[in-house]
């Protein structure tokens, strides 16, 4: 199945985790993919592995984002899909009582401001073409309070979800669709690092998932590919939860 044949896609944070899994899925479905990542060494490696293009990008910097989008337009002439996936969840983002202003702002810049900047940069090109799909990475914590506090991350993902809904409604008649993907806890290097540092904290996440396991990055990538494709042609301003039933559960089964 090659639903994305010859479409041009940008993936921010595409060098690892969900972004890398989505890169692999997009390529398998025929897309021409650009990996926009701050870690250019890793981006170059994964891009080479999958025949993609890597561009060093600081998603929190307007000039860097505009330059990246400009390079994509110069190279391919269009942008059909934008997966705004870059994000961080650093250990100093904790309870509101312990998180510093600087730590709070750093997460907001990478997780929320970046989505604003990336959407702002690609939308004129999509609107001119009268077509396009934007997928923004939110989180289950945009819908449900987290069992382990990470105040700025949670606030940023709530902002991503709200922004996505507004953009989806605003451009609904333009041919451009804007949706959010909200993963539950996913088995990525970020979660594995949490397990290694604080197994008890990680276990508090697992116990709430009705399926009894963490998700895999490939499972989120499959959902992103659906939203990017024409199979989701009547979906915009939506929140696509891929969370193993977490947000639907009052209690988990034994």
Catalytic residues: 153
Closest CA to 30 of 218, 195, 212, 225: 225
Contacts of 153 (CB under 8 A, 6+ apart): 87, 89, 93, 107, 111, 139, 141
- CB of 195 closer than 8 Å to CB of 181: no
Q: Where do runs of H (alpha helix) occur along 51-140?
A: 62-76, 101-108, 114-129
- CB of 4 closer than 8 Å to CB of 231: no
Residues in the chain: 254
CA distances from 222 to 51, 110, 127 (A): 19, 24, 26
- 3-state SS class at 44: helix
């Amino acid at each position: 199945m090659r639903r994305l044949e010859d479409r041009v896609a940008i993936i921010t944070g595409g060098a690892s985790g969900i972004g890398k899994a989505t890169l692999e899925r997009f390529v398998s479905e025929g897309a021409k993919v650009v990996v926009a990542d701050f870690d250019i060494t890793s981006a170059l490696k994964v891009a080479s592995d999958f025949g993609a293009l890597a561009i060093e990008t600081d998603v929190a910097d307007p000039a860097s984002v505009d330059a990246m989008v400009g390079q994509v337009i110069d190279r391919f002439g269009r942008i059909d899909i934008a997966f705004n996936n870059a994000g961080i969840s650093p250990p100093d983002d904790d309870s509101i009582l312990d998180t510093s202003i600087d730590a709070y702002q750093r997460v907001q810049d990478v997780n929320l401001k970046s989505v604003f900047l990336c959407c702002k940069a690609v939308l004129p090109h999509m609107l001119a073409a009268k077509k396009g799909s934007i997928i923004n990475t939110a989180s289950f914590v945009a819908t449900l309070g987290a069992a382990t506090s990470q105040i700025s991350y949670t606030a940023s993902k709530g902002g991503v979800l709200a922004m996505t809904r507004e953009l989806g409604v605003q451009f609904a008649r333009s041919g451009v669709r804007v949706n959010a993907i909200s993963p539950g806890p996913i088995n990525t290097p970020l979660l594995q690092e949490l397990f290694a540092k604080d197994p008890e904290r990680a276990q508090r996440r697992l116990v709430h998932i009705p399926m009894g396991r963490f998700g895999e990055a490939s499972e989120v990538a499959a959902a992103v590919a659906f939203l990017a494709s024409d199979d989701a042609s009547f979906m915009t301003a939506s929140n696509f939860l891929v969370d193993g039933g977490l947000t639907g559960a009052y209690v988990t089964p034994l």
